Structure 1
Amino acid sequence: MNTIQYILRWDRVIMLLVGYTVSRVASLDFTYHNQTQLERFLRNATLYYPDITDLYSIGQSVRGVDLWVLAIGRDIKSHVPLRPHVKYIGNIHGNEAVSREMMMHFIEYLLTGYGSNETVTDFLKKTGVHVMVTMNPDGYGISIMGTCTGYVGRENANGYDLNRNFPDFFKANTSPVQVETKAIMNWIQNRSFVLSANLHGGAMVANYPFDSYNSTSQTSGASISPDDDVFQHLALTYTRSHATMSLSPETCPGDHFVNGITNGAQWYTVNGGMQDYNYLSVGCMEITIEMACCKFPQPSQLPQFWSKNKDALFNFLTKVHIGAKGLVIDNDSNPIPNARVYVVGREPVHFKTSKYGEYWKLLLPGKYTLKAEADGYLTTTVSIVVHDGVVTRKDIMLMNTDVKSEGSKHAVYLPFILLSMTMILL
């Protein structure tokens, strides 16, 4: 190592130590942060909280900016059996900037709360939280502060609306899939997210699927999903935890949302939206949250946005711990990845098991029948009772189609019955 390399290395160490001191003693300020400042904030988070953070990029924008995700939770770099994972995606439309700052403050809230706030600590011990502060850094880079309406910066660098760019299950989407969209698609296909929200601005409402109509004969009214009861519960959890979103039917000029929620298509139709893709492709329950009437308000308003949204952002994610979860295994107790778990009567939406054979299904209290299927196995149905405030565990065994011996039939079914017993987990 020559003298110049030695000096540069020590300069880097000193910069890291200075950054550590600043970050530890000063809270995140309420201003808009550019990409360099955002990346510094995320890297500092991993330096000071290495045991509960994992920073990774899922790809790059059109202009080559990394799409960073910060994962937060105890032992977040390791697989914890049946621990559910949730996500937030901010700044999909680059000129809708409030969500970008709210995600940074939410990260700080979780990190500083771990070990000091009992509720936050307990949540992060049993949940993996993944936060993408910005999905559209290129659009944000050309957006104009103080602009409440308009489209400058809304789209990506190729001029495409990223929340109209996903494959649509009801109507063909002819827009070429953008690199940012493709990165999100690969991300959710390879990680088993259970609950999610994408964050916007320009209104104040929690919007839930479907965003478009699954029938050519329907052109107005609500487009009801099989899990409409759960989606309304999730949306109401957010708005009722928000300081004002649910209090008045008129939260922004011209808007009228009872309790601050709306079915997507009933508000206006979206072809190629992110929330429908999450739900229909992998069974991840996602809603869209509009956080501010003004898309890019002055930074002086950011403290009140944080005050109003802080509890809602946290309480929404805690809803991942309702319904049912368990393992799908074969008759030799091996996990079955990519098995499909349905709720009978709520088809065709299914949850695809993780590579460890895990499934999660958000449900309200009641009696349900689960159906599990996988290639090369016999389809199985089991009954389940979901209680309020707890997660019901139900493991499901699928018999390999090669098991045909009638004489061993009862021997095979006995462990299946035992493994399918319901255990209520607090």
Structure 2
Amino acid sequence: MNWVATCCFFLGVTTVLCSLDFTYHDNKAVENYLKAINKNYSSITYLHSIGASVAGNQLWVLVIGLHPSHHMIGIPEMKYVANMHGNEVVGRELMLHLIEYLVTSYKTDMVISQLINNTRIHIMPSMNPDGFDASVQDCYGIIGRTNKNGYDLNRNFPDAFDLNPNPIQPETRAVMDWINNENFVLSANFHGGAVVASYPYDNANSENNEISPDNDFFKNLATLYATNHANMHQGVQCLNTAIFPNGITNGYLWYPVRGGMQDYNYIYGQCFEITIELSCCKYPDASMLSEFWSENKVALIEYIKQVHKGVKGQVFDLLGYPIPNAIVEVKDRNHIKPYKTNSNGEYYLLLLPGVYTVIVSASGVSTLQTVNIKESQNLYAMKQDFLLHLPTSSVNSHLQICTLLSFLSTILVIFCT
């Protein structure tokens, strides 16, 4: 065996251009593959761990973008998360093939190149590596579903509707911190056991029904994925599951989920997330993986593009400084937790084409603007900045904070260099 074949063997990939094989990769093979991708495509990738599992397995995330290691103003962030139920394994492999497709298509495929240049794409192949280690090849079983402590990670997030008494697990905490530290706008997480795209809410109570303020956009997201999937839109029925018209469903109407990641992203993270069920069989034979990739490839790419819908911009004060934590909401679709600008004064609102009134407020001052969002074929959301006439005291206070942050940033640069 020559050195190329040896390298590919240990990475779990084939020798034909050392491309990823359609087989199941254990946690070490996944890690090695991600490190190899990061090494060979260092200009557009950034590999990091957001934390560790109960057993100490790293929760790897590969970021793909023109500036992969850090956020850039105006560049939206999106993520894919797979294998949070350790025995639901198809998404785990699809993420590896998606990574390969994206990096190898850069500068040769115009659409993919534009997507990478204008988006920061985060991909986590496995949120539950311990569960994967424990799982067995079984279509309908539960062995490996939970983390090593026996907790279902998709019932472990803080819930806006019901108290969730379960102790937050290391994997859950890592993802929560990840969400809080980034500026995610769009997300999807991948499961198995059905073939459907499910959208928020996953839970509800007497005061809040299952219909979210952004129900129109969520239904459009789910429909877009199902329509671009080879057969999801046909309403595939699996054993012991309902028939899903057009391949989509509201999560709560399917069955309530308390402590789900989907609702946590949307309510607490200002990130639109849907749940995509990829296969009737949770852990199918590896011979089917090529078919699953073919079924989902177009949908995965088209979904990423949706992060560029709607309107985005920054909120500034009279001196031209960006205002963090300004509330930016669309009239008549207020969120449970108001959506706010980030530390750069940025906001991103995913909206379908139409006319909307955007209301911006901070320090007791508000302004509103009517925006007309039109259908766009490019990867640029409509840009709309806002100027808030803050009281003089607030402007001075804000100026002092900005000056301090600028000073600290300068000191860090000097120290680190």
SS of the equivalent of 1:287 reads strand
Distance 1:164 1:307 in 2: 31
Question: What is the deviation of 1:135?
Answer: 0.3
Identify the range of structure 1 (29-38 vs 346-355) with the bigger mean alpha-carbon deviation. Answer: 346-355
| 1:274-353 correspondence runs (5 A) | 274-349=261-336, 350-353=338-341
* Aligned counterpart, 2:381: 391
Question: What is the deviation of 1:396?
Answer: 1.0
The letter of the residue matching 2:195 is M
Residues 229-268 of structure 1 show CA distances to partners (whole Å, capped at 9, x for unaligned) of 0000000110000000002353556420000000001000
User: Structure 2: which 5+ runs fail to align?
Assistant: 396-417
SS of the equivalent of 1:333 reads coil
Contact 1:245 1:251 in 2 (8 A): no
Residues 156-209 of structure 1 show CA distances to partners (whole Å, capped at 9, x for unaligned) of 011100000000001111111111111111111111100000110000000000
Distance 2:76 2:394 in 1: 35
Distance 2:339 2:167 in 1: 27
Question: What is the deviation of 1:63?
Answer: 0.9
Question: What is the deviation of 1:342?
Answer: 0.9
Question: What is the deviation of 1:23?
Answer: 7.3
Percent sequence identity over aligned pairs? 46
Question: What is the deviation of 1:77?
Answer: 2.3
Distance 2:241 2:217 in 1: 28
* Aligned counterpart, 2:20: 28
1:74 paired to 2:66: yes
Distance 2:340 2:22 in 1: 40
SS of the equivalent of 1:246 reads helix
Residues 5-31 of structure 1 show CA distances to partners (whole Å, capped at 9, x for unaligned) of xxxxxx9xx979x97x97782210000
The letter of the residue matching 1:391 is A
Question: What is the deviation of 1:81?
Answer: 2.1
* Aligned counterpart, 1:239: 226
The letter of the residue matching 2:28 is T
* Aligned counterpart, 2:391: 401
1:49 paired to 2:37: no
Identify the range of structure 1 (378-387 vs 118-127) with the bigger mean alpha-carbon deviation. Answer: 378-387
Q: TM-score, length-normalised on structure 1?
A: 0.86
| 1:114-133 correspondence runs (5 A) | 114-133=106-125
* Aligned counterpart, 1:372: 360
Distance 2:184 2:20 in 1: 28
Candidates 344, 365, 373, aligned match of 1:356: 344
Contact 1:377 1:398 in 2 (8 A): no
Distance 2:205 2:318 in 1: 38
Residues 308-345 of structure 1 show CA distances to partners (whole Å, capped at 9, x for unaligned) of 01111110110111100001111111112232211110
Contact 2:311 2:349 in 1 (8 A): yes
Distance 2:26 2:246 in 1: 35
Residues 37-90 of structure 1 show CA distances to partners (whole Å, capped at 9, x for unaligned) of 000000001110000000011111111111110000112224432000100000
Contact 2:157 2:264 in 1 (8 A): yes
Identify the range of structure 1 (353-362 vs 177-186) with the bigger mean alpha-carbon deviation. Answer: 353-362
SS of the equivalent of 2:320 reads coil
Candidates 84, 91, 99, aligned match of 2:76: 84
Distance 2:333 2:58 in 1: 38
* Aligned counterpart, 2:204: 213
Question: Relative to structure 1, is the Cα distance of residues 373 and 26 closer, same or farther in structure 2, using a 3 angstrom cutoff?
Answer: same
* Aligned counterpart, 2:414: none
User: Structure 1: which 5+ runs fail to align?
Assistant: 1-10, 406-426
Contact 1:30 1:300 in 2 (8 A): yes
The letter of the residue matching 2:72 is V
* Aligned counterpart, 1:423: none
The letter of the residue matching 1:336 is I
The letter of the residue matching 1:187 is W
Candidates 70, 91, 94, aligned match of 2:86: 94
1:109 paired to 2:96: no
The letter of the residue matching 1:226 is P
Identify the range of structure 1 (308-317 vs 209-218) with the bigger mean alpha-carbon deviation. Answer: 209-218
SS of the equivalent of 1:28 reads coil
SS of the equivalent of 1:352 reads coil
Question: Relative to structure 1, is the Cα distance of residues 132 and 217 closer, same or farther in structure 2, using a 3 angstrom cutoff?
Answer: closer
Q: TM-score, length-normalised on structure 2?
A: 0.88
Distance 2:208 2:331 in 1: 26
Question: Relative to structure 1, is the Cα distance of residues 404 and 246 closer, same or farther in structure 2, using a 3 angstrom cutoff?
Answer: closer
* Aligned counterpart, 1:8: none
SS of the equivalent of 2:166 reads coil
Distance 1:251 1:93 in 2: 18
Distance 2:70 2:316 in 1: 21
Candidates 186, 189, 197, aligned match of 1:195: 186
Question: Relative to structure 1, is the Cα distance of residues 352 and 24 closer, same or farther in structure 2, using a 3 angstrom cutoff?
Answer: farther
1:150 paired to 2:115: no
SS of the equivalent of 2:365 reads coil
The letter of the residue matching 2:246 is N
Question: What is the deviation of 1:116?
Answer: 1.2
Distance 2:330 2:82 in 1: 30
Contact 1:249 1:255 in 2 (8 A): no
